């Protein structure tokens, strides 16, 4: 109801109440001009008092229905205050008048209660209708989302029987949804994939939450294999396991591209290492030997011409010999940096000690290596760990401004773990490797790629003013 009509009803009811009350006290107001003439007439043989009380009843019901329960109660109270004194003041049959007045008030009160109950019931019905409509709309939206979702979604019971599947399941299985329903999930899994599914099922049944997607291989209708990124959750009812819901995304092409990319990166890194080894060998065997020969020839000239050559010439030859010696040392250092022979000859720990000693000599900082007795490691693993350590120590050399560096190598029956910690200035760690590339920290991305190529994982912890820790863990 609009405010305008609401106010109109209030004013109209108040006006009727005033007229009715004046009529009710007509005998007392008979001498008052105009007002004394206000009086209701009798109807159907009923007395005026009864007609007035019936009018009060109708007015109370009208007020409660049209304006509201609170206003109806107000008119009910006002009517009681109007009727009861009239029965006591005007000389009539007081007992009968009071009985009639109370009867009217009781009926009016019951009527207001019924109106309130009706409105409450109507309001509940509207709420229930709204909830039902919302649920129906939500269900329709969910069914539409489920049916037309880009990811394949299916639910199978505790025995593996698929009970519901959406349209996208055809893409990963090769079967239309109506043919998928009723099949057992084991029909789509190879023995290896079935073992993975059983492991996931066991973890879910033990109450372990699996928040991350995992890769699974499915056998399609035509016998081909597809790789899906799968998320599985356990559906419970009343605390009891009921079914498993699966959401799968076809990542076959993505995984093939990723594997090809990793293969290319691995081949590139191996080719790079071979080229480094070749260049280091040529520097050491060819150019370095020529420089040594040059230095010796200069030494012979200096020694043999001490009494025959001018002092200025002898001094210039000695200067050239010093340059040749410095060039020889530089070539040795470059050759070691490219491919230190100590890694191939003595292993990872010796090579890490050499890196620490070189860092200590260059920057005069405390660098130490602590290592367990390591099992025999694949050359690829040793090389990757060495390059990661080399890059991390290069970062310390260039950026950290540290006074202490510690390298720790630990191993168990299945994994090797290398930790490099410095007490330098640290940095704000980017969340994504792509951010590191944008910031120019390509070495960090290279370390991550080398760790991934040996099946390992790289973790970097750093905060401004609190140093940096590089952790790499890889299978043996």
In tens, the pLDDT along 381-401 reads 888 899 899 888 888 888 888
Rounded distance between C-alpha atoms, residue 14 and residue 20, angstroms: 10
* pLDDT at residue 432 in the model: 46
Mean pLDDT of the 370-382 span: 86
Longest dimension (CA), the chain: 164
pLDDT over 80 (residue 367): yes
Evaluate the CA torsion angle 392, 393, 395, 399 in order and state its sign: positive
Q: How confident is the model at residue 53 (pLDDT cuts 50, 70, 90)?
A: confident
* pLDDT at residue 30 in the model: 54
* pLDDT at residue 435 in the model: 56
pLDDT over 70 (residue 46): no
* pLDDT at residue 405 in the model: 92
What pTM, to 2 d.p., does this model score? 0.50
pLDDT over 90 (residue 70): no
- Residues 186, 192, 196, CA angle at the centre, nearest 5°? 75
Q: How confident is the model at residue 436 (pLDDT cuts 50, 70, 90)?
A: low
pLDDT over 80 (residue 269): no
* pLDDT at residue 243 in the model: 92
- Residues 431, 433, 434, CA angle at the centre, nearest 5°? 105
Percent of the chain at pLDDT > 90 equals: 8
Q: What are phi and psi of 225, to 5 degrees?
A: -115, 140
Contact indicator for 468, 400 with CB cutoff of 8 Å? yes
* pLDDT at residue 473 in the model: 92
Rounded distance between C-alpha atoms, residue 336 and residue 362, angstroms: 15
* pLDDT at residue 41 in the model: 53
How many of the other CB atoms lie within 10 Å of CB of 82?
20
Rounded distance between C-alpha atoms, residue 302 and residue 286, angstroms: 24
Which residues are CB-neighbours of 336 under 8 A, at least 6 positions away?
Answer: 280, 342, 354
Mean pLDDT taken over the chain:
81
The token duo for 302 is 């200096």
Rounded distance between C-alpha atoms, residue 228 and residue 172, angstroms: 8
* pLDDT at residue 1 in the model: 58
pLDDT over 90 (residue 78): no
User: Per residue in 177-215, pLDDT tens?
Assistant: 888 899 999 889 888 888 989 999 998 888 887 778 888
* pLDDT at residue 417 in the model: 93
* pLDDT at residue 43 in the model: 47
CA 296 to chain centre: 69
Mean pLDDT of the 224-250 span: 89
More confident: 51 or 296 = 296
More confident: 36 or 174 = 174
Highest mean pLDDT among 57-66, 328-337, 452-461: 452-461
Percent of the chain at pLDDT > 70 equals: 88
Provide Rg for the chain, Cα atoms: 48
Mean pLDDT of the 20-35 span: 63
């Amino acid at each position: 109801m609009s405010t305008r009509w609401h106010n109109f009803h209030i004013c109209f009811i108040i006006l009727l109440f005033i007229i009715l009350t004046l009529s009710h006290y007509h005998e007392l107001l008979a001498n008052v001009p105009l007002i004394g003439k206000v009086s209701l007439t009798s109807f159907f043989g009923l007395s005026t008092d009864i007609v007035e009380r019936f009018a009060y009843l109708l007015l109370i019901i009208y007020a409660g229905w049209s304006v509201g329960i609170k206003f109806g109660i107000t008119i009910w109270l006002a009517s009681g205050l109007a009727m009861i004194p009239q029965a006591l003041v005007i000389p009539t049959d007081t007992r009968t008048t009071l009985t009639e007045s109370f009867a009217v008030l009781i009926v009016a009160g019951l009527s207001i209660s019924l109106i309130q109950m009706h409105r409450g019931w109507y309001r509940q019905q509207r709420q229930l209708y709204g909830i039902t409509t919302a649920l129906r709309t939500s269900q329709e939206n969910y069914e539409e989302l489920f049916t037309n979702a880009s990811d394949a979604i299916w639910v199978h019971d505790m025995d593996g029987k698929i009970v519901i599947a959406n349209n996208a399941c055809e893409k990963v299985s090769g079967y239309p949804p109506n043919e998928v329903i009723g099949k057992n999930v084991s029909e789509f899994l190879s023995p290896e994939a079935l073992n993975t599914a059983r492991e996931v099922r066991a973890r879910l049944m033990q109450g372990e939450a699996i928040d991350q997607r995992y890769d699974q291989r499915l056998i399609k209708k035509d016998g081909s294999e597809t790789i899906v990124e799968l998320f599985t959750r356990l559906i419970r009812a009343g605390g009891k396991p009921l079914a498993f819901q699966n959401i799968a995304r076809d990542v076959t092409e993505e995984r093939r591209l990723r594997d090809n990319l990793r293969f290319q990166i691995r081949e590139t890194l191996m080719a790079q290492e071979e080229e480094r080894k070749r260049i280091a060998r040529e520097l050491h065997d060819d150019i370095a030997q020529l420089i040594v020969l040059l230095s010796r020839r200069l030494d012979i000239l200096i020694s043999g011409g001490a009494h025959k050559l001018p002092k200025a010439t002898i001094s210039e030859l000695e200067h050239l010999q010093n340059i040749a010696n410095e060039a020889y040392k530089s070539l040795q250092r470059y050759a070691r940096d490219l491919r230190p022979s100590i890694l191939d000859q003595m292993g990872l720990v010796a090579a890490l000690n050499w890196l620490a000693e070189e860092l200590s000599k260059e920057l005069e900082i405390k660098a130490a290596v602590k290592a367990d007795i390591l099992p025999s490691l694949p050359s690829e693993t040793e090389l990757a760990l060495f390059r990661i350590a080399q890059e991390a120590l290069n970062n310390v050399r260039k950026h950290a401004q540290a006074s202490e560096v510690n390298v720790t190598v630990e191993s168990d029956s299945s994994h090797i773990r290398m930790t490099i910690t410095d007490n330098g200035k640290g940095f704000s760690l980017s969340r994504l490797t792509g951010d590191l590339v944008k910031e120019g920290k390509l070495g960090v991305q290279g370390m991550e790629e080398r760790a991934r190529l040996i099946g390992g994982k790289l973790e970097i912890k750093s905060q401004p003013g609190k140093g940096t820790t590089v952790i790499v863990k890889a299978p043996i």
